[in-house]
């Protein structure tokens, strides 16, 4: 009868300790895993690139958000309003003109609404009151807008106000004297969609109309 230990390979295996056997098994598993990956290396590379691209985009969005929040916090520290109204935004003066020879003169001026927040709004209307420097009322009305106000954006718009006959006569008199006229814009209120209370209540705006702009 042949003893098992008399076989050379069995004799060599018997010399291995338990620790050496464990290392051999782990090495075999690692080699098998590497060989498995090498069967389809391009597919795994594409998956890795796709995953990295997603993470890079998320990182870019996070950096933009951090910068935006920092900007908003800085503006809030400077006591700037979240929603602001600016009459005659990047233009000179309001313009008084007559559309045609039969229509009464009117006043047209541009304005801008600034959204410094990180939220999007929808404006429903603006109410305002215009009078001259003698506290004579020129016009008062609600201006329906129904416009979108995206975050961190400036929306420019314009509106035409009618003029009462007494104010028109005053403008004609000032034009003959080559004098300018001041009008005062007060009680500006901006209302959001489905909101009863205004999100903006403006202060007093003094608007100068040059006599050359009296297209009467």
Mean pLDDT over the full length of the chain: 72
Query: In this structure, are 87 and 59 located in the same domain?
Result: no
The three-state DSSP-derived secondary structure of the chain is CCCHHHCHHHHHHCCCCHHHHHHHHHHHHHHHHHHHHCCCHHHHHHHHHHHHHHHHHHHHHHHHHHHHHHHHHHHHHCCCCCEEEEECCCCCCCEEECCCCCCCCEEEEEEEEEECCCCCEEEEEEEEEEEECCCCEEEEEEEEEEEEECCCEEEEEEEEEECCHHHHHHHHHHHHCCCCEEEEEEEEEEEECCCCCCCEECCCEEEEECHHHECC
pLDDT at residue 9, as a whole number = 44
Query: In this structure, are 120 and 67 located in the same domain?
Result: no
What pTM, to 2 d.p., does this model score? 0.55
- Higher pLDDT among residues 90 and 144, named by residue: 144
Query: In this structure, are 169 and 96 located in the same domain?
Result: yes
- What is the tally of structural domains in the chain? 2
Determine the Cα–Cα distance for residues 83 and 199; give it in Å rounded to an integer. 7
127: in domain: yes
159: in domain: yes
10: in domain: no
Residue 51, domain extent: 15-80
pLDDT confidence tier of residue 191, bands split at 50, 70 and 90: confident
Query: In this structure, are 146 and 54 located in the same domain?
Result: no
Whether 193 shows a pLDDT value over 80: the answer reads yes
Query: In this structure, are 119 and 195 located in the same domain?
Result: yes
């Amino acid at each position: 009868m042949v003893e098992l230990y008399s076989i050379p390979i069995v004799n060599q295996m018997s010399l291995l300790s338990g620790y050496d056997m464990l290392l051999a098994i782990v090495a075999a598993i690692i080699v098998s895993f590497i060989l498995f990956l090498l069967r389809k290396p391009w597919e795994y590379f594409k998956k890795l690139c796709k995953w990295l691209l997603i993470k890079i985009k998320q990182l870019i969005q996070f950096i933009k958000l951090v910068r935006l929040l920092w900007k908003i916090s800085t503006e809030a520290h400077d006591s700037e309003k979240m929603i602001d109204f600016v009459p005659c935004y990047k233009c000179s003066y309001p313009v008084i003109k007559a559309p045609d020879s039969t229509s009464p003169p009117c006043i047209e001026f541009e304005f801008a609404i600034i959204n410094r927040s990180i939220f999007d709004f929808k404006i429903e209307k603006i109410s305002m009151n215009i009078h001259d420097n003698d506290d004579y009322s020129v016009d008062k009305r609600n201006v329906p807008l129904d416009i979108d106000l995206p975050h961190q954006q400036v929306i420019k718009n314009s509106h035409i106000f009618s003029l009462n006959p007494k104010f028109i006569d005053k403008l004609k008199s000032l034009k003959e004297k080559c004098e300018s006229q001041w009008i005062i814009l007060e009680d500006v209120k901006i209302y959001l969609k489905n909101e009863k209370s205004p999100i903006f209540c403006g202060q007093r705006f003094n608007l100068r109309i040059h006599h050359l702009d009296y297209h009467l």
